[in-house]
Every structure is written in C-alpha cells, then in structure tokens.
Amino acid sequence: MTFDNVVFYIILAITFVLSFENITQKHLILKNKLILSGILFFSVTISRFTSDFLNLFIIIVTFLAVDIVKNRNSKLWSIFNVFLVLFTYFIVDAVVRNLCVIFLGSDNAQGRLFQYSYYIFGALITVLFSKTLGKVIKTDYWESNTKDIRKYIIIGNVIFSFIIASVSIVVNKALNVTDTRIYIVNIAIFLAYIISSIFTLTIFNRFVVKEAELSIREVEMKKIEEYTRTIEDLYNSIRKFKHDYKNILISMNEYIEGKRYAELEEYFRDNILKTESFVTSNDYAIKLANLKIPSLKALICSKLIHASNNQINVFTDIRENIEDIPINIIDAIRVLGNLLDNAIEEAIYTDEKRLNFGAVYKGNSLIFIVENTCRPSTPPVFKVVEKGFSSKGPGRGLGLVNIKGIINSYENCTLNIEIDNGSFKAEVWMRIIS
C-alpha cells in the first residue's frame, strides 16, 4: 500500500463522516468523529485484501448503529440517511472522475496531479452537496422557513438536474463512450436547466410575494376584528355591570332603611358576592392595556377569555408598555398562539387549573412567559419537543415543534422550557436589535 493510497483512504474516511453529519444534521463530538473515521479507514484498508462488498457492509452497519443509537432516529429513517450518504458519494465520485478526465485527459489518469485533484475536489463537492441535501430533507427546516420556498425549489432543481447529469455521465462511462464532447454537452445542459429554473422561479416569485402580502394582511385584519369584538363584549359587560350595580345599591338601601339586617346579609351573599367573579375574571383584560400591538393583543385577549370560560384561573402581568417586537408579527402570533393553546388544553385536565401570562423587559431582551399547571404524567422537556409527540393523540404533536422551528429561524430568539412540580413554563426571549 503506497503513501498515496493512505492519503486517499484518510480523505475518504473523513469525507464519509462529514457527509453523514450533514445528511443527519446531527454533529458528533471530535472524539466520536475520530473513532468513526478510524473504523472507516480500517474498513477501506482491508477491502484491498478482501472484498468491496465487505467494505460497503461495514460502512452501512457502522452508520446505522450511530444513527439509531447516538442520534435516536428510527430504523427506517436511519436506513434512508445511510442510503443518501452512499448515494451522494458514488454520484459525486462518478461526476468528479469524469470531469478530471475531461480537463486533465484520460492519459494522465494514473498521474499524481490527476489522483490528488480527484481526491480533493471529490471530497469538497461531496461535503458541500451533502450539506445542501441535509438541509433540504430536514423537516424542521422546511416547516420553520416556508417563506423561503423559492430557495428550496431552486435547491431541489439543482439536486434533480445534478442527479440527471450524473446518471447520464455514469451511463456514458458504462457504455465506454470516449468522446469528451458528450460529457461537456451533459454539463452544459445541467447548467442551462439550473439557470432556466432560477429565471422561471424569479418571475413566479413576484406573484407569490404579492399573494403572501395579501394573506398576511388578511390574517392581521381578522385578528384586529377579533380584538374589536372582544373589546365590544367587555364594554357591554361593563355597562351591564354598572346598571346592575345601581339597582343593587337601591335595593340595599331599602333593607337598610327598614333595618332588615338579616335579610340584607342574605341578599349580600346571594347577589352581590357573585359580581366579584365578574371583576376578577376580567381583570387580565385591563392589564393588556400596556400591550400596544393591536393584532397581538387581539390574539392574547381572545385566548385568555377562552381560558377563563373554561374555568381556568388566569393571571396576567404586563407592567411596561410594549409598542414593538423584534420579530415578524405573524411569527409572534403563531408562537404565542400555539403556546397559549397548549397551556389551555393542558390546564383543563389539572385540578388547580391555572394559567399565567406575562411580558417583561430584561436588559436588551423582551421576554414573553406562559406558565400553566400540568399533569404529573407530563414527560421531560426533550420528549415534549419531539416531532409527533402529543398527549392528545396521534398526529397532534406539532405545536412545540413548530414553535421551536420558528424561534430557531431567528438569531435573536430563544425558547426556554421548564417542567417542574406540576408546572409547565415556556419563556420566549427576543433580543432587541438596535
């Protein structure tokens, strides 16, 4: 085994490890990278004396074991990931080798310049291609960045055209086609297809952007209308309360003038104390006055009223004026709406039935806090943020995954979740960018 062979095997092992990280979107610590690279180096080395099939078998088993045990992926998803790793390598390998033949000539295939160009460029393109492919197939990335759909379509077209061009080159190689002009034409068609796709999508994007703007305005208008109806209901309730309050005072005066104190006490307990629930249950709506963003206020107000109507004890605390938030208003509505929906649905099943909502400035950050009582059977944090998990049945565990995806799309936002002693607390930190 020559020195060049050793270099090639080292590059190949490192390339496989980096591609595996990119496809699975799970980064390994340095120690695990070195161990995995060593196993792959050993596998490639012994394949010189045994069989390529044994080498392939060791690679597949190694990656499957790491993806299932270390990354906690399902067996089917792990098989898919390993297939993509191998697919990426073999496709890029075929393309780069043929590009080297085109630019360096087949006569130099055994030269060191040809070999090292093939090693280095093959490794770089494999890593970059796997990184792109990993982002495209990552579900959370798609869910949290739907506004960048044009980017995904372009990436998809690049991958598709790359595969078509690669298959064409591999077929030409298998058929012993030696005319380099055919390979050049394949690459030209590949580039032309990408340029055409980008141009078409750019034109199409103009219409999509306008439609998206109209959709956003429609959502905001619905929230404003909902907020207006809520305020009208509160206003009518207050008017009714004031009218009833005057009648109560008049009736109490009759008992006092007649010195019927025993009847007054009974009347007080049966009628007047009931009005306290009105004042208490609507106290949170008054405290929302410091929230100066109409669409967000409408959402929160409606959610808290819904919670109160479900016999949940609601406490609201917003002591400082909040006139703006450092993220997109639609994303803020989605995040806080999901958190409040989850809090209400969980608090209903508890004995204490409590929901706390607050917002506070701390340093250069704005923090929204949603806290609710939860059942003792509530699993740990790492479990509740898994995709598909739900205590309410199959297919309904997307709320926290969506929230996490939206938050992760902003560099100035973080989501902190704490579960302790029958309480579920979520904090959304938004750093104010000056």
Q: Specify whether the CB–CB gap between 141 and 401 falls below 8 A.
A: no
pLDDT digits (tens, 9 = 90+) for 381-433: 656 555 544 555 443 344 677 788 889 889 899 999 888 888 999 999 999 98
Which range is most confident: 155-164, 181-190, 363-372?
A: 363-372
At 320 the three-state DSSP class reads coil
The Cα–Cα gap between 252 and 246 comes to 10
Q: Specify whether the CB–CB gap between 47 and 55 falls below 8 A.
A: yes
The pLDDT value given to residue 388 = 47
The pLDDT value given to residue 107 = 60
**Which of 404, 362, 360, 405 minimizes the C-alpha distance to 381?**
404
* E strand or H helix at 423: strand 423-431
CATH topology of domain 286-434: Heat Shock Protein 90 (3.30.565)
The pLDDT value given to residue 115 = 81
The pLDDT value given to residue 347 = 93
pLDDT at 361 over 90: yes
Tokens of 251: 């009736």
Q: Specify whether the CB–CB gap between 373 and 347 falls below 8 A.
A: yes
Question: Domain ranges in the chain?
Answer: 3-213, 286-434
As a whole number, mean pLDDT of residues 211-224 equals 70
The Cα–Cα gap between 406 and 339 comes to 12
Alpha carbon separation from 284 to 289, 297, 303 (Å, rounded) = 9, 12, 11
The pLDDT value given to residue 91 = 73
The pLDDT value given to residue 139 = 47
The Cα–Cα gap between 186 and 172 comes to 10
Average of per-residue pLDDT values in the chain? 75
pLDDT digits (tens, 9 = 90+) for 225-251: 766 676 676 666 667 666 666 777 777
**Which of 321, 327, 245 minimizes the C-alpha distance to 279?**
245
Q: Specify whether the CB–CB gap between 367 and 427 falls below 8 A.
A: yes
Residue 164 vs residue 262, higher pLDDT: 262
pLDDT digits (tens, 9 = 90+) for 147-170: 455 555 656 666 666 666 666 666
pLDDT at 208 over 60: yes
Residue 278 vs residue 106, higher pLDDT: 106
pLDDT at 325 over 70: yes
pLDDT digits (tens, 9 = 90+) for 54-82: 666 777 777 778 777 766 666 777 777 78
Q: How many CA atoms lie within 13 A of 133 on its CB side?
A: 28
**Which of 422, 416, 412 minimizes the C-alpha distance to 400?**
416
Q: Specify whether the CB–CB gap between 415 and 428 falls below 8 A.
A: yes
* Non-local CB neighbours of 18 within 8 Å, separated by 6+ positions: 127, 130
The pLDDT value given to residue 372 = 94
pLDDT at 327 over 80: yes
Rounded to the nearest 5 percent, the helix, strand and coil shares of the chain are: 70, 10, 20
Residue 107 vs residue 424, higher pLDDT: 424
pLDDT at 291 over 50: yes
The pLDDT value given to residue 412 = 92
Q: What percentage of the chain carries pLDDT values higher than 90?
A: 13
Residue 35 vs residue 186, higher pLDDT: 35
Residue 291 is classified by DSSP as B
As a whole number, mean pLDDT of residues 203-220 equals 69
